[in-house]
Each structure stands twice: as C-alpha cells, then as structure tokens.
Structure 1
C-alpha cells in the first residue's frame, strides 16, 4: 500500500469517527482498522451495474468533508462492487440489482482484512426502494446525500449528509432514493457473518 493510500485510509477513519460521537464501540473498531495492511484491489468480472451511479452519488455530497473527500481516493480499494447473495438469488423487484451495490473497504474478505467488523459504502440508483430488511449485525449508516429512511416503529424520514442512522440488530429498516443516487458509508459490528435478508 502506498503512503498516499495509507493517508487516505486514516483520513477516512478519522472523518467517520468525528461523525459518530456517542457510538464508542464503533469508534473503537475504527481505531483498530487504522494500521491494517491494505491488499491489492481486484475488479471481478460481472461487477455490479450500480457503479455507473458512483460519480453522481459522490457529487451530491459536500466534498469538503474528509469522510467524503477521501472516498474518491479509495474508490478502487477492495474487490469491486458486490451484491448481497440473498438479493441476487431473489431480487426484491425487477430493477433492484441494476441499482444496488456496495464496495467493502474493511472486513473478513475486504481490502483491509479484519475478522469482526465491516466498513464500506452502499450505492443506490435514483428512484430505488431498498425494501425492509434486517440482519443480526448492529449497523450505522452515514448518508452522503439525501434519501428517505424508515425503521420499524417509526415513520419515513428524510436524512442526508451529516446524519447518523443507527440500526440495532434484527431491526427491520428500509431506504428510498429520489431523483439522485445515494452513497452511504456503512459500519457493521457484532454478528457480521450473516447477510441481510428481506424482512
């Protein structure tokens, strides 16, 4: 890993940590990631079509924020755009897979290897509903642009850059984009091995 990439990585972690004050366990996991060795990135065949939305999703964000700005330097890190195997087997709706994907930077099989934590970025295309789903991992989302978010027991609400969205384990939640694509940094901790499933 080059020194420049290492600097981008640490700046990303510092930017995220500054946004998740009060979530001490997640912040501690981030600090464990600071000195992980980065692996060579590869782009597998059949990478998700959602990659076409990446540039616009980032443009929706105020690039002055460190946690956003350095994602540009890290966009090739990891192993290409991925999709949840549960959704690939049974897509929630016909256009979903063309407008959904994520790139994982840290995790058990990511560019920065760590066994019990995941850090990456989700991208959804415009006018896309990510329907109610749940997972055993505890989760934080940091949206980099506007979208509507829902969680069981509450109403749909608009969230955007600067917001912190926390989902306890097994809590059903959903996301819906408007006229622009969404990029959202995510953090998973706890039981991270099991993929999300539609609720």
Structure 2
C-alpha cells in the first residue's frame, strides 16, 4: 500500500474480495451476532441497548457483503499462548467462536496499538482487529476483535474517549478494577471514558473478544491512553 493511501482508495484500485467470498470470516461474525443476541444483559437496560447497537451495526456489515482487505499476518510474543486459549475455549461456553477462530489463526494480524508499548506488556499482550477501519473486514461504525493476555498480566488503567466497549470472555479468568472475577461466557460493558484496569489469573492465558461502538472518526483513531 502506498504511504497515505486510504482503505477506500485501495478498494477503488483493486479487485475486491467480499465477505461472501470468505466463509470462515462470515461464520466468525455469525458467532458474534449469536452471542450478542442470546447472552443475558443481567436485567440492565443500558447493557441490552449496547448489545442491540452492536447487533444492528453488525447486521449492516453482513447485509452489505462488506469488502475484505487482505492484511499481512503478524505475530507478537504473547501469541505463543493462543493455542492454549483456543483449546480452553473449545471446551467452554464460547466453543463455537473458538473453533472458527482456530481456522483463521494463521491469517490474524496481532499488534500493540501504541507507538511505545510499556515493557511489562511487550511479551504479555497483543490484539487483532477483525472488523473495523483497519479490517480485514471493513466497517466505519463498529470494531470487533480479540485481545490476548499471558497469565499473570496487569493491563494498566486506561479509557476510551467517545467509544463504548464490551468484552466477551472466551478463555481464562480475569478481573476488571478488582471488582469481580469473570469466566468464559461473561460480557462486560464499559461506557465511554470509563477508567478500567484488567488483570488475568496466574494459571492460564486469557482471550477476550471485544466490540467498540462510536463515531467513525473516533473508531478510525481510537488513541488508547494509559491513565
């Protein structure tokens, strides 16, 4: 890709592969939709409203047969723990999503999201965006992805201005702000600007799926900042 070339320019200048041409990516989105439609909101109207917004945005992506931009697969040290999390996930509440993700494992682009990642996270954390402005599945109003943590990791306190976020626990035990321990199948909601810190259990790695909803300009440049 030429420096400064936008995704729209790339799409205009090349033969476009669509979601319907990539069954495993399509099935992965179906797993997100199934979870957000069937999981309990715990009686919270705020959480249920967030789930509905995620599903509505996702339905639009699927209905539009969204374009797919091929990204170069990329790894980080923590990805050595991914097979373990997928093994754990296949035995739990998120088995369907874990199975589909395992078929896409070699196509994922893992990154840090920071110009300078803290040394404590260099070998213990990475994320991959699977739907959003950075693709591979293109969307301006929704981001879906996965974040992977090694055992015994603390991800420092941070917030996402203008972006509402939810985590879906796929494998491993973790806590947010020391308030509770979350197991596979849990959904955690963070409103825009909410300060939160993540810690993971000492025994196993932790894999979380996440969804971000917000204005297109915020999703294009989320600017994650540690507090």
**TM-score, normalising length: structure 1:** 0.84
- Contact 1:148/1:175 (8 A) holds in 2: yes
* Residue of structure 2 in register with 1:156 after alignment: 179
- Contact 2:24/2:104 (8 A) holds in 1: yes
Point out the structure with max Rg over C-alpha: 2
Question: Once the two structures are superposed, what CA deviation does each residue of 1:6-39 show, in whole Å capped at 9, x if it has no partner?
Answer: 5423433333333456221111112122221323
**TM-score, normalising length: structure 2:** 0.74
* Residue of structure 1 in register with 2:124 after alignment: 99
The structure 1 segments of at least 4 consecutive aligned residues displaced by more than 4 Å after TM superposition are none
Structure 2: give runs of 5+ residues left out of the alignment. 1-16, 41-47
1:108 to 113, 133, 137: 133
Aligned residue for 1:144, secondary structure, equals: strand
CA RMSD of aligned residues (A): 2.2
2:144 to 108, 116, 119: 119
Q: Which is worse superposed, 24-33 or 13-22?
A: 13-22
Q: Which has the higher contact order (CA 8 A, sep 6+)?
A: 1
* Residue of structure 2 in register with 1:185 after alignment: 209
- Contact 1:17/1:30 (8 A) holds in 2: no
The separation in 2 between residues aligned to 1:143 and 1:13, in whole angstroms, is 12
Aligned length: 189
The separation in 1 between residues aligned to 2:168 and 2:66, in whole angstroms, is 22
Q: 1:15 to 1:33 in 2, by over 3 A?
A: same
- Contact 1:147/1:175 (8 A) holds in 2: no
Q: 1:36 to 1:175 in 2, by over 3 A?
A: same
1:54-93 mapped onto 2 (5 Å cutoff): 54-61=82-89, 62=91, 65-78=95-108, 80-85=109-114, 88-91=115-118
Q: CA deviation at 1:145?
A: 2.0
Structure with greater proportional helix content: 2
Structure 1: give runs of 5+ residues left out of the alignment. none
The separation in 1 between residues aligned to 2:107 and 2:131, in whole angstroms, is 10
The separation in 2 between residues aligned to 1:184 and 1:19, in whole angstroms, is 18
Q: Which is worse superposed, 35-44 or 127-136?
A: 35-44
* Residue of structure 2 in register with 1:5 after alignment: 24
